[in-house]
Chain A
């Protein structure tokens, strides 16, 4: 199962199987969205499947997660999300009332994001062949801005910003499974980022190098992708990373590092040095970016690595995980 945890094993799987089978110029950058040209327009295209358990959790459900996730993948590629499709795989016996709840929240999320769910599909499989309800969304967006964004675009001197406190979605889900005797005042951070992205791109035209929504594998995995693709070092200041006390407490209890925990409404932004102030102000001026923080800088050395400056001034390596985190201490 290590192949699904969003770390290096997932990466290897993608490269070994999918890239190999489908190799083409639009796929090759392995960004969250592909860029294709149709007539004179540049479009961004993306798809994602959602298999979250439980289906309903504090702050959201699989429905708004599926809409927001695809909206966000389009948004961080610099596109204006327009239309979504939705596919459902339902386990026989999945309550219709639950399905109504899911579709209603999808509709609400789509309305909030200003996108239309314009086509769909449903399949029912035998009991036991699926876990309640799976949702797949695909989305198309219009790339109508001149911004050239990509994980390979980070340069030494750039500034790294996260748009808000991290790890809330992942921790909420873990606690919502109900196996743990932990109570925390937490809700998922799931939210559509297109408005926040538009605000940012308007505020510093040409200053943004890349944006990624920090989903599976968390902020740490995104930063590693940026460091590797750009051939730079990303140095993060541990004390500057925004983490809510409830998340920190739960992570400490669970023995996990918030940097690796998934978010569904936070993004990592790399901007050039001179744009840092304007970018931060713009993000903070938006309701979804009020707690944005500058968390680090891009350096030339050591290329490909993410380093964490700890409270005592040490530099810990924040590596891409190969699989599920296992203690390394002997």
Chain B
């Protein structure tokens, strides 16, 4: 038993904490121990996994190394503690012990996981009983969060409850040596869910559902596919008529569609896939990764992307198949597929069968569906890459509800209600924060319902009763109103941009103090105006507004967000001292309403004042790129970034003016001067590509100069960059470069988005910090 060696036996008691249940941890430990010839036991309790191993010093060491180095793919180990205990006589073998009663109660529900290679191999093997089966999964992969109805995470508490395991599946489920040991959604063609292809009236279409669906797709049909967290709408990416039809039926004018490529090789034919992108594309979360497109090679006709997929866009949102159904579909189709959320314009994605049939009947020609219900709607996650790691844009399927470890504890359980658009909520207790899946824009009733139900669901899943409720200060946010209706809790209002900065701190496991640069569309400020171009000196508990973009009116309020030319009007009126030449393109294009909008701004009627950086980008985008009206959030800024020539090093001057007296601000940044420089440059015949780049460089310099000014006045030399504007990679890169060159340490987002999707984590971090101070 000691591999022939004579050595002293040792016994180690090991405790593993983190996401270690429902992820194949016990079979992994069991297999490892058997392989190394160790005696001992493994089991689950409410704290995680406990292990005792006994054997020779060398194999026990090897065991520990493997535990640390190669845990099961889905495990997220937060802590391993090892203690020497007295060794026994040996020869007892290795056993999996029963969980203590209620032991799984607090097991952390894992995110949904992309199909693993072992399952794929079985699906491709004609001799395997799961050959071609669209619901194949194991303890290392498959649906989790989206099918869990309640805890403990057991089959009866999932949407697999209605499927009784057959004898073969049951055997696998109960065999500690099997990859499907305690894999709750285990199933096979004999006992599990089934695919169905139906027409708009719900009538079944005969034949193999996948093969038939592909036949429809090839005839330019729009297909609705039931995925992991909801229905997708699909069309062959190379087929312009199909993609154009999808666009018009969905009422989606310009926003790019995401594409699912059959495999990594196909992805590489479409986009530049570096090491980081490859890791993200093929990882267990399988987000949509925004990647730079390659010029289309004419000799590879299958790799073509129709113009309507992402009109005029050098970037493409790319993902790889993540469910067995996607694998089957893409293998049969053998070319990229547009895969977009199953909804009409801004509605939430459809996930209940009858509702999907009803809502998508005007869009999809056929429905590829199945009988495994989805319990929680989860959109695809979206990420960009920045300096060899991911920068989340939308954190949802594959990530939620993975807890985030907090640097400091949460004395009393916190519910953070999040913002209004791109809402997520966050529950936190102990040292963990559970940021929800992407809920969406709360102004929509369906979304509000998903929000309130989602909060209840998370409370049950994580056994948490909030005692502190954190919320935004905007009085009209439905999340604020929801918070204010809670009874018997302590309410904590957190300023929007403080929440952004705190979310960046929490994301990086830090507490501050830092200079927080929060640039976004807008958020409610302490003075009742709308902020959004903020330099805060902040830690988790408090902040001071140390600098900001000079406020100006937004003529028509929300209308100025939908119509960037209005921001151009407001900026130009200030930049050019009220004398805007009639022959400027942006003025000519909007001549009929220009004087009225300028009058609105001057009179301050229906024109709230804002220091928003997003609105400055809008104004410059309207002036430079002709983007007068947007059809999706952030469109103008996105197009300005896209237009900018990355090789251009020049930058405009953006003076920092002395801060207003009787405020905490050391400076304000003169946005109109930047706009004046843009106008001059364009007037001198400089191409828009160069102007757009110089503007980006100017804003990056504004960030660096502002931070330097604050550091000179005693502020910390660490900077946290947050807010939706920092999804702009050109700005993020330039600003980070400049700051680092000037000796700053720079924190950027890596686990939650810089946009409002990350606000709930920040609110939770602030509420917890204030609660800690109260003691």
* Interface set of A (CB-CB < 8 Å, partner B): 174, 177, 179-182, 252-256, 302, 305, 307, 312-317, 319, 321-323, 325-330
A38 to nearest B CB, angstroms? 41
Beyond A253-B559, A330-B420, A330-B755, is A179–B523 a contact (Cβ under 8 Å)? no
A315–B449 CA distance with the chains assembled, in angstroms: 12
Beyond A322-B475, A326-B476, is A315–B600 a contact (Cβ under 8 Å)? no
Leading 5 A-B pairs by shortest Cβ distance: A255-B556, A255-B559, A179-B603, A181-B599, A322-B475
Q: Which of under 10, 10 to 19, 20 to 34, or 35 or more describes the interface residues of B?
A: 35 or more
B9 part of interface (Cβ distance < 8 Å): no
Which of these, B475, B496, B554, contacts A323 with CB under 8 Å? B475
Do residues A327 and B558 form an inter-chain contact, with CB atoms below 8 A?
yes
Question: Which residues of A have CB within 8 Å of B443?
Answer: 316-317, 328
B598 part of interface (Cβ distance < 8 Å): yes
Classify the interface of chain B: helix, strand, loop or mixed.
Answer: mixed
- What are 20 residue pairs bridging A and B, where the CB atoms are less than 8 Å apart in the complex? A179-B605, A182-B599, A253-B596, A253-B600, A254-B556, A312-B251, A314-B347, A315-B446, A316-B445, A317-B448, A317-B478, A322-B475, A322-B481, A323-B475, A323-B476, A326-B476, A327-B530, A329-B420, A329-B561, A330-B724
Do residues B475 and A330 form an inter-chain contact, with CB atoms below 8 A?
no
> Considering residues B347, B521, B523, B557, which has the most beta carbons from chain A within 10 angstroms of its beta carbon?
B557
Do residues B347 and A327 form an inter-chain contact, with CB atoms below 8 A?
no
Do residues A328 and B605 form an inter-chain contact, with CB atoms below 8 A?
no
> Considering residues A180, A312, A315, A326, which has the most beta carbons from chain B within 10 angstroms of its beta carbon?
A326
A126–B603 CA distance with the chains assembled, in angstroms: 28
In chain B, what residue has the closest Cβ to A314?
B347
Do residues B606 and A256 form an inter-chain contact, with CB atoms below 8 A?
yes
A7 to nearest B CB, angstroms? 9
Do residues B600 and A314 form an inter-chain contact, with CB atoms below 8 A?
no
Do residues A329 and B633 form an inter-chain contact, with CB atoms below 8 A?
yes
Question: Which residues of A have CB within 8 Å of B449?
Answer: 302
B654 to nearest A CB, angstroms? 23
B306 part of interface (Cβ distance < 8 Å): no
Question: Which residues of A have CB within 8 Å of B724?
Answer: 330
B749 part of interface (Cβ distance < 8 Å): no
Question: Which residues of B have CB within 8 Å of A314?
Answer: 344-347, 444
In chain B, what residue has the closest Cβ to A315?
B445
B421 part of interface (Cβ distance < 8 Å): yes
Question: Which residues of A have CB within 8 Å of B419?
Answer: 330
Contact with A along B463-480 (1 / 0, CB 8 A): 000000000001111100
A106–B530 CA distance with the chains assembled, in angstroms: 42
Beyond A254-B605, A317-B478, is A328–B420 a contact (Cβ under 8 Å)? yes
Which of these, B251, B347, B558, B593, contacts A253 with CB under 8 Å? B593
In chain A, what residue has the closest Cβ to B608?
A326
In B584-610, the 8 Å CB interface with A consists of: 593, 595-600, 602-603, 605-606, 608
Do residues B523 and A330 form an inter-chain contact, with CB atoms below 8 A?
yes
Do residues B560 and A255 form an inter-chain contact, with CB atoms below 8 A?
yes
Do residues A327 and B605 form an inter-chain contact, with CB atoms below 8 A?
no
Beyond A312-B345, A330-B755, is A305–B445 a contact (Cβ under 8 Å)? yes
A214–B724 CA distance with the chains assembled, in angstroms: 39
Question: Which residues of A have CB within 8 Å of B422?
Answer: 330
A226 to nearest B CB, angstroms? 17
B619 to nearest A CB, angstroms? 16
Question: Which residues of B have CB within 8 Å of A330?
Answer: 419-422, 496, 520-523, 614, 724, 755-756
Do residues A180 and B345 form an inter-chain contact, with CB atoms below 8 A?
no
Additional 11 contacts, C-beta under 8 A, given A330-B422, A330-B614: A179-B605, A180-B605, A253-B600, A255-B555, A312-B344, A313-B344, A317-B442, A328-B558, A329-B561, A330-B523, A330-B755
B359 part of interface (Cβ distance < 8 Å): yes
B524 part of interface (Cβ distance < 8 Å): yes
Which of these, A313, A317, A323, contacts B445 with CB under 8 Å? A317
A316–B557 CA distance with the chains assembled, in angstroms: 19
Do residues A329 and B475 form an inter-chain contact, with CB atoms below 8 A?
no
Which of these, B251, B421, B478, B595, contacts A181 with CB under 8 Å? B595
A329–B612 CA distance with the chains assembled, in angstroms: 11
Which of these, A174, A182, A302, A328, contacts B421 with CB under 8 Å? A328
In chain A, what residue has the closest Cβ to B606?
A254
A132 to nearest B CB, angstroms? 20
Do residues A328 and B477 form an inter-chain contact, with CB atoms below 8 A?
yes
Do residues A255 and B476 form an inter-chain contact, with CB atoms below 8 A?
no
Do residues A326 and B605 form an inter-chain contact, with CB atoms below 8 A?
no
Question: Which residues of A have CB within 8 Å of B598?
Answer: 181
Question: Which residues of A have CB within 8 Å of B555?
Answer: 255
Question: Which residues of A have CB within 8 Å of B605?
Answer: 174, 177, 179-180, 254
Which of these, A256, A313, A316, A322, contacts B476 with CB under 8 Å? A322
A179–B477 CA distance with the chains assembled, in angstroms: 30
A320 to nearest B CB, angstroms? 9
A12 to nearest B CB, angstroms? 11
In B549-567, the 8 Å CB interface with A consists of: 554-561
Contact with A along B168-206 (1 / 0, CB 8 A): 000000000000000000000000000000000000000
Do residues B444 and A315 form an inter-chain contact, with CB atoms below 8 A?
yes
Do residues A319 and B476 form an inter-chain contact, with CB atoms below 8 A?
yes
Do residues B521 and A319 form an inter-chain contact, with CB atoms below 8 A?
no
Question: Which residues of B have CB within 8 Å of A315?
Answer: 444-446
Do residues B522 and A254 form an inter-chain contact, with CB atoms below 8 A?
no
Do residues A327 and B344 form an inter-chain contact, with CB atoms below 8 A?
no
> Considering residues B346, B449, B478, B596, which has the most beta carbons from chain A within 10 angstroms of its beta carbon?
B596
A124–B477 CA distance with the chains assembled, in angstroms: 44
Do residues B595 and A326 form an inter-chain contact, with CB atoms below 8 A?
no
A307–B496 CA distance with the chains assembled, in angstroms: 27
> Considering residues A255, A302, A316, A330, which has the most beta carbons from chain B within 10 angstroms of its beta carbon?
A330
A152–B358 CA distance with the chains assembled, in angstroms: 33
A251 to nearest B CB, angstroms? 9
In chain A, what residue has the closest Cβ to B723?
A330
A180–B603 CA distance with the chains assembled, in angstroms: 7
A155 to nearest B CB, angstroms? 21
Which of these, A174, A327, A328, contacts B554 with CB under 8 Å? A327
Beyond A174-B605, A255-B557, A330-B419, is A302–B476 a contact (Cβ under 8 Å)? no
A329–B555 CA distance with the chains assembled, in angstroms: 15
Question: Which residues of B have CB within 8 Å of A317?
Answer: 442-445, 448, 478
B606 to nearest A CB, angstroms? 4
Question: Which residues of B have CB within 8 Å of A321?
Answer: 476
Question: Which residues of A have CB within 8 Å of B608?
Answer: 326-327
Which of these, A179, A313, A322, contacts B359 with CB under 8 Å? A313
Question: Which residues of B have CB within 8 Å of A316?
Answer: 443-445
Which of these, B345, B476, B523, contacts A325 with CB under 8 Å? B476
A182–B605 CA distance with the chains assembled, in angstroms: 12
Contact with A along B435-465 (1 / 0, CB 8 A): 0000000111110110000000000000000
Contact with A along B337-348 (1 / 0, CB 8 A): 000000011110
In chain B, what residue has the closest Cβ to A249?
B593
A317–B451 CA distance with the chains assembled, in angstroms: 14
A179–B476 CA distance with the chains assembled, in angstroms: 27
In chain A, what residue has the closest Cβ to B554?
A327
Do residues A180 and B522 form an inter-chain contact, with CB atoms below 8 A?
no
In chain A, what residue has the closest Cβ to B557?
A255
Do residues A329 and B520 form an inter-chain contact, with CB atoms below 8 A?
no
Beyond A180-B603, A328-B477, A329-B561, is A307–B556 a contact (Cβ under 8 Å)? no
In B302-351, the 8 Å CB interface with A consists of: 344-347
B109 to nearest A CB, angstroms? 28
A112 to nearest B CB, angstroms? 32
B456 to nearest A CB, angstroms? 15
In chain B, what residue has the closest Cβ to A235?
B445
In chain B, what residue has the closest Cβ to A254?
B606
A312–B343 CA distance with the chains assembled, in angstroms: 11
Question: Which residues of B have CB within 8 Å of A254?
Answer: 556, 559, 600, 605-606
In B513-562, the 8 Å CB interface with A consists of: 520-524, 530, 554-561
Which of these, B344, B445, B530, contacts A307 with CB under 8 Å? B445
A325–B285 CA distance with the chains assembled, in angstroms: 40
